[in-house]
Chain A
Amino acid sequence: EIQLQESGPGLVKPSQSLSLTCSVTGYTITSGYDWSWIRKFPGNKMEWMGYISYSGSTNYNPSLKSRISITRDTSKNQFFLQLNSVTTEDTATYYCARSGYYSGVDYWGQGVMVTVSS
């Protein structure tokens, strides 16, 4: 069974960096698919932040392009999100997910709530 699990601090101070880990079991992230970070803001708006493909290429939402980095550790079958210079507007629940062409997101993590506050 494929499972994705987010981990990371639930509280980040403004101007600092937000760092999250997605641990994947049941599927090797270099075998296929795109591995994404998606967030849901208070009030229900959802935003696709970016992804790293199975080959290691990345694609970022232009709204975040200067602040975001998605990387991976293939030996641990994990991928990571770093979001720099956070503000209170980055308070959200962050999800990692697997997606592919013509398949949408077929696996989601359970989500981790991150609050940006001093």
Chain B
Amino acid sequence: DIQMTQSPSSLPASLGERVTISCRASQGISNNLNWYQQKPDGTIKPLIYYTSNLQSGVPSRFSGSGSGTDYSLTISSLEPEDFAMYYCQQDASFPFTFGSGTKLEIK
């Protein structure tokens, strides 16, 4: 299985701040990397697919980049609704696997 190492596990930040979450795969995944946001009520929202493509309805302050084994999610200016859990996930090779999550918290 491809292991996904996500960092940091916790990220305190302030409104308006720019933040970046990283995800490293144990082998190359050819940009097959997706990002999701989970709110405290358990609902999961898709954010980005295939490294850098925004899912429908996702604000442009979210962006993704990367290649090979290293990928990142950037939020350019934090809004109150952005404080949540974030997960990366690879679908290059089944079983598809997730990172361990990053909790974005208000500083």
Contacts and interface: CB of A to CB of B under 8 A. Distances in A.
Interface of A: 40, 44-48, 59, 61-63, 93, 95, 99, 102-108, 110-111, 113
A104 B36 CA distance: 9
Nearest to A49: B95
Which interface class (under 10, 10 to 19, 20 to 34, 35 or more) fits B?
20 to 34
Contacts, number: 59
Interface of B: 32, 34, 36, 38, 42-46, 48-50, 55-56, 85, 87, 89, 91, 94-98, 100-101
11 contacts: A48-B98, A61-B94, A93-B42, A102-B32, A102-B50, A104-B49, A105-B44, A106-B49, A107-B46, A111-B42, A111-B43
Contacts of A113: 42
